[in-house]
Amino acid sequence: MDVGELTFDVTVGGPDRGPWVLLLHGFPVNGQCYDAVVPRLHEAGLRTIVPNQRGYSPGARPSEVAAYRIDHLVADAIGILDAMNVHYALLVGHDWGGLVAWHLASRYPDRFTGFVAVSTGHPLATRDSLATSDQRERSSYIKDFIADGAEEKLLARDGVLLRRAGVTAEELQPLKEPGALTAGLNWYRANFTGDIAKTMSCGPVEIPTTMVWSDGDAALGREQAERSGRYAYSDFRFCVLPGIDHWIPQKAPAELASEISLRSAVF
């Protein structure tokens, strides 16, 4: 799917009629992270749009770090909806996809019927939690991701560091394409350096929102998730998945699909 000068790989499916759901993946796994979620959404009568986002689609992999600023990532998602002539969709985002989705929900409330944030809280809630919880320690890995040579370290010994973090061998394969892992890391380099507060500044969300968080998440603590309700001005539901690690779409697809279906019925 062409959006401007970039070409995105987008998987579309579901019944001929029914509400659209836009699902945005995070780092480092592309849209295949939702493979076990999507069939359940189709069974619930929902149609799905799952793009491999900027850097994860070979045809949308610019070399400049600045090309991965949050504004570009947000514009890509709107561009994909426009290219499909989709005026309204339910919004879902996990990990980095969640950060993009919070900005989408805040900036384009007229385009989304509701929002399901997965793992990643509102950027201002995350900012708050850095000072009042262990979130700063949990986020310390970011400095390694933005460092020179991060690609080589993450792919060394067949990607052992990523595999220890929970990435499967199958999910690792696309990251071995030329420039793929660099592009994924550029999301961090473009947005978590310099004036981070200004770059990631996000307004409140005024559409019905569900926050899905798992208590086994090593990177994202409860406070940043639960506090997101302060920045969600419409109906807000906080859902905790016990015993699940960070990889909610892969480890708890039935539970996530249920929450997405429940939120789709609100509108």
Q: Residue 233 catalytic?
A: no
Distance CA(162)–CA(139), nearest Å, equals 16
Question: How large is the angle between the packed helices 150-164 and 180-191, nearest 10 degrees?
Answer: 100
In a structure prediction context, what are the per-residue pLDDT tens digits for the chain, which is 267 residues long? 999 999 999 999 999 989 999 999 999 999 999 999 999 999 999 999 999 999 999 999 999 999 999 999 999 999 999 999 999 999 999 999 999 999 999 999 999 999 999 999 999 999 999 989 999 999 999 999 999 999 999 999 999 999 999 999 999 999 999 999 999 999 999 999 988 988 899 999 999 999 999 999 999 999 999 999 999 999 999 999 999 999 999 999 999 999 999 999 854
pTM of the model: 0.97
Determine the distance from the C-alpha atom of residue 79 to the mean position of all C-alpha atoms in its chain, rounded to a whole number.
17
All domains of the chain, ordered by start, with CATH? 2-265 (3.40.50.1820)
Q: Residue 188 catalytic?
A: yes
Q: Residue 246 catalytic?
A: yes
Q: Which entry of 25, 94, 103, 246 is annotated as an active-site residue?
A: 246
Q: Which entry of 76, 188, 217, 231 is annotated as an active-site residue?
A: 188
Q: Which entry of 56, 76, 94, 95 is annotated as an active-site residue?
A: 95
Report the 10 Å Cβ neighbour count for 125.
23
